[in-house]
Every structure is written in C-alpha cells, then in structure tokens.
Amino acid sequence: MFAADFEYRKAGSIAEAVQLLSDNPGAKLLAGGHSLIPLMRFRLARPEVVIDIGGIANLRGINVSGDTINIGALTTHAEIAASADVQRSNGLLAEAAGGIGDPAVRNRGTIGGNLAHADPASDWATVLTALGATVSAQGPSGARTIAVSDLIEDAFATVLAENELITTVSVPVLAANQRAEYAKMAHPASFYAVVGGAVVVTMDGNRCTAASVAVGGLTPRPVKAPSVEQALSGTTLTADSIGDATARLGEDITAAGVDIIGDVYASAEFRAGVAPVEVKHALMHAIGLAHH
Amino acid sequence: MPNKVPITVTVNGRSHSAEVEPRTLLVHFLRETLNLTGTKIGCDTSQCGACVVKMNGVTVKSCTAFAVQADGAEVTTIEGLAENGNLTAVQEAFWNNHGLQCGYCTAGMIMTVTEIIERNPNPSAEEVRAGLEGNMCRCTGYNNIVRAALAAAAAGQGG
C-alpha cells in the first residue's frame, strides 16, 4: 500500500515547525510515524504537505524537576519504559509505555504523536488523564498548557489548533502514599486497548483518601469517573468495596454523554461490561490484592 | 513528475545516496532501490515483523517508516549481520535449532532476537516470547524460535 504523493518538509526547530504549519494549512506533522504512516497508507489521510519534526533534538528527552516529570513530545515509548527516572518517580508511566504495541513499535512511536493522534484506543490518553498530566503546546503566539483530559475532544480530534504542536508532556511524580495502575483488555494482534482502566489512589494505610479513575478504549475520548472516585474516597479498599465502587462506572459514562464504541472485535455491550472489570483489576493491583 | 527528495543512508556500513519519492517506504527503498531483498513485507500494517531492520541501533518496522526519515541514519538489514561469511551467534542458533519452516519471518525474527539479547544477554524463555510480541510466525508455533534465541544467548554473544 502506498500513500498518496505529498510534499516533504523537514523542520529543524520548533519555531520552524510552527511556521511551516501556519504556511501550509492541512499539513500533518510526522514524528515517529506510527499513527500517521498507516493512516496515509490506507488513504484515510492525504495531506499535501508532511512536516517531519523527527530531527528536532530538544523535543526529545526526560527530566524530573521537583514533583514533575517532563517528557519531550518526541520521546519514544521504549525510552519512557526504560528510563530509570521514570521507573523511580512514576512506575505507571513506565509500565504503560512498556505495554504499547510491540518492541519495534515502541522504538519508533512517540508520546506526543500518540496524544496528538487521539486514537480512542490510546493507552497514553487514558493513563495520562488519570494521572492529571498536562501538555505544553506551542503555536505562533506562544505556548499554552492543556490538561490531557481537555486535550482530546473526540475520536482522532484534539483541541490543538492547526498550527500548534505538542512540545512537552508533564506528569506528576507519585507521592510515597500513592499507587497507580492501568489494566487493559488488549486486541491480540495490535495490542491496542479494547478497554482500559487507569487509577491513582492516595492511601492512608488501607484507607483511600483520594482517587482518580479514567477509562478509555470504549469511548471516543477517555472518560473520568467521578462517581467511582467518590465511592472510593474515604473507603477502606477491599475486593468488596472496590466492586461496589466500580459498579458505578456506567453512571459516569452516561453522564459524560459519549457513545460506547462497538466494532467487529467487540460490541458496545461487551465493552461496557468489561470496563468496570478493568478498573477493578487496576485497583486490585494498586492495593496488592492481585498481581500482574 | 513526482517530486523527489535526496537522501543518504548508510546501510550495512555502506553509504547510499538516492533521490526518492517522499512516500517511498524504507522497506521498498531497501528491497527495490538497493536490492536487499532479505527484508520481507508481510502484513504491511506494522504488526507481523517480517520487515524489521535496525535503524540507528534499534529495531524498527521498515513498512512503517518513510525512506526520507532514514536520511542520515545507519540501517542494518539481515544481509549486514554476518561478517566475512561468518554467521552471528543468533543466525547459527536459528540454523542449529531449525528456528524456521518456510523462512519468511526469519529475517525479522533474527533482527529482533539480536536486539533482545543485546538488551538482556541472559533472557528467560518468557522474556524471549515477550520480546517477540511483534514478530509473527505462521509455521513453527515459535518453540524452535525461542530455543534458538536461548541457545544464542547461551553462546554468549548476541551478534
């Protein structure tokens, strides 16, 4: 399968990439290419101009500053999974990165490209929503910070302007009393999430004092679960209390006003049934009642 | 007239300059421009791993990279592993353990196993299987491929 012909431009800097985006409406950014190239080969995308940002060195790399992990948009999933800094400061990030695709895909796919592509099956979208991560987006008039939970509007659609690009993803360092986990039902060939649930719980002994819960894969964009979070907060976490809390997930999906995806692999009814199970698995792992 | 972009790619230690259409995939550049047909096209959708090569030291699926993205890069294909006719430990181990049947997945398998052992010189069978998640074989059932990988690791050199 061949992509349609396009004009190739290589950006040497963030400013040049923004300029090229402004000058070429409809142009697409090429980072690792693991979302864009398949779309172009299936001719689901036919950009006239492709702007390669893969060589912009200062879009790559990880640094931990105070209680924030800053990850350059071009950092690959493999680099995040292997980073000792990430493993130490937020183990969920490393674990989620290591569960995306397969090793060769992780060697090329980037965190910024993954978010900008906004595939409903993105592991990052769900995990980073639960973690309260933000992205920094650069446009012609400067940079702005966008919460990942606000970034994705719909399937394959973000709030980014046509001439904005994600430069950094910022994720909180987990506190000593916080546990974070992600559980997914993965498609057996692509490893894309059919349903994924991500949780962050703040613990005081066995009691949960605060919780953040997000699900993805089954909805066009990740959905936060305030009813589940509320049911967990102030509760001693046991298999029973976790089951009671996750049973409320359906209310949150209804309240979010989004459709549940059904396709040849899994019907909407099936996905809706699996979602609380994945959140429950994540919570059980988080408190050590189950193991991977 | 299709537009063309000049690129220079070092493949198996040799520098190659060419003008390519931007939409040319790396796997097509390797197979059709350089005639390095050891790298195969299988699923064509970055799932099967038949097209795995190394680019700048890490495995990539060459069906999911444009050749222009390899401009300035160092690429190693299956043809570049053996030196002076001496197979690497991974290649020897695939031969000795019959880690193939039809052979179509073999080039990608060997490239990936080489990286698995570089990253973890003493992998368990489970770690080998996890490392091969992105490489599909429709003949062997993987057992001999995993045996080959473990034998190569035991030989103490990943290639």
Burial status of residue B154 (CB atoms within 10 A of its CB: 0-12, 13-18, 19 or more): exposed
Contact A101 B134 (CB under 8 A): yes
Average pLDDT for residues A232-243, to the nearest whole number?
97
pLDDT digits (tens, 9 = 90+) for A126-151: 999 999 999 999 999 999 999 999 99
Interface contact flag, B115 A1, Cβ < 8 Å:
no
pTM: 0.96
Q: What is the CATH number of domain B5-80?
A: 3.10.20.30
CATH number for the segment(s) A7-52: 3.30.43.10
Q: Do B22 and A4 touch (CB under 8 A)?
A: no
Q: How far is B61 from chain A (nearest CA, A)?
A: 6
Q: Least CA distance to B21: which residue of chain A?
A: A5
Give pLDDT tens digits for A246-279: 999 999 999 999 999 999 999 999 999 999 999 9
pLDDT band for position A290 (cuts 50, 70, 90): confident
Contact between A36 and A187 under an 8 Å Cβ cutoff? The reply is: no
**Superfamily for B89-154?**
[2Fe-2S]-binding domain (1.10.150.120)
Taking every pair of C-alpha atoms in chain A, what is the biggest distance, in angstroms? 59
Architecture of domain A58-172: 2-Layer Sandwich (3.30)
B5-80 and B89-154: identical CATH topology: no
Looking at chain B, which residue has its C-alpha nearest residue A192?
B47
Q: Provide ipTM, 2 decimals.
A: 0.95
Inform me whether the pLDDT recorded for A286 exceeds 60. Answer: yes
> What does the pLDDT average to over A7-36?
97
Contact (Cβ atoms closer than 8 angstroms) between residue B53 and residue B93:
no
Q: Which is nearest to B60 in space by CA: A213, A128, B73?
A: B73
Mean pLDDT, rounded, of chain B = 95
For chain A, what are the domain ranges? 7-52, 58-172, 179-286
The residue type found at A84 is: A
As a whole number, mean pLDDT of residues B4-11 equals 98
- Work out the angle between the directed axes of helices A123-131 and A91-98 (0-180°, nearest 10): 170
Query: Domain boundaries in chain B?
Result: 5-80, 89-154
Judged on CB neighbours under 10 Å (0-12, 13-18, 19+), A71 is: buried
Give the span between the Cα atoms of A136 and A144, in whole angstroms: 6
Does A187 contact B at CB distance below 8 Å? no
- Supply the pLDDT for residue A191: 80
Q: Give the pLDDT confidence of B83-119 residue by residue, as tens digits.
A: 999 999 999 999 999 999 999 999 999 999 999 999 9
Which are the contacts of B68, defined by CB distance < 8 A and separation ≥ 6?
A8, A10, A52, B5, B7, B20, B22, B24
Q: Which residues of B touch A (CB under 8 A)?
A: 2-3, 5, 21-23, 25, 44-47, 49, 52, 58-61, 64-66, 68-69, 112, 115-116, 131, 133-135
Superfamily name and number for A179-286? CO dehydrogenase flavoprotein, C-terminal domain (3.30.390.50)
Rounded to an integer, the average pLDDT of B12-26 is 98
